[in-house]
Amino acid sequence: MTPTASRLSSSPMPATVQRRWLIGIAAAAALGAALPRAAFAAGVDDAVVELQHDWEAIRYQTPAAEREKRFEALAAKARKVSETYPGRAEPLVWEGIIVSSWAGEKGGLGALGLVKQAKALYEAAIAIDGNALDGSAYNSLGVLYYKVPGWPVGFGDKAKAKELLQKALSLNPKGIDPNFFYGEYLVEVRQPDQAVAYLERALQAPPRPGRQVADSGRRDEARLLLEKAKAR
């Protein structure tokens, strides 16, 4: 070992340099831990956006005769997303929406199994984070409760539906979906006069970035239902 090397190896590191060195190591370690989490978050967000776009293309741009099979295939894709990102509510919400839509296209008593599956997905999402996606799980679960038959056939419950839909509205009071579906619920329970205000709010809701197809389709549905509510 050269004298210079010996002096470098034996000289104590100044305290200020040592602190900076340790801070640098800690920062690097923190960054190394944060990057995978950031990539994970970006991955789940991208996957959910893809499911959204696939869903709206089927719901609003696909012939009715083809929707059931398309939703069935999309449900399988959504299941993989949920499994890839455990502990995240967003994929579960969208898996539930897709399974619910599949059930709607299937229709009849044969769809009850799918509806129960969707219910479990929404409940799992709420258990993780009910506020995710502006409370969409509450809204979608509420829709199931007023659309599904009650006991002994199904789990339908108008009072439970109202509770869940109002919870969704409290989280996203200006949103197109919570206003539309609460309006639809009020029409369903024969309160069309009260439904008018919510359907009008749905039509005035601010656009959702990247959701032009869904927003356009929902506004069309709101207009039709508003005409129906006013005619009663």
For the whole prediction, is pTM greater than 0.85?
no
State how far the Cα of 154 lies from the Cα of 149, in Å rounded to an integer.
Answer: 5
Confidence band of 110 (pLDDT split at 50, 70, 90) = confident
| Architecture category of domain 39-157 in CATH | Alpha Horseshoe (1.25)
Confidence band of 41 (pLDDT split at 50, 70, 90) = low
- pLDDT tens-digit map of 155-205: 999 999 999 999 999 999 999 999 999 999 999 999 999 999 999 999 999
Q: Which of 62, 52, 132 is nearest to 97 (CA)?
A: 52
First to last CA, the chain: 97
Cis peptide leading into residue 152 (ω within 30°) = yes
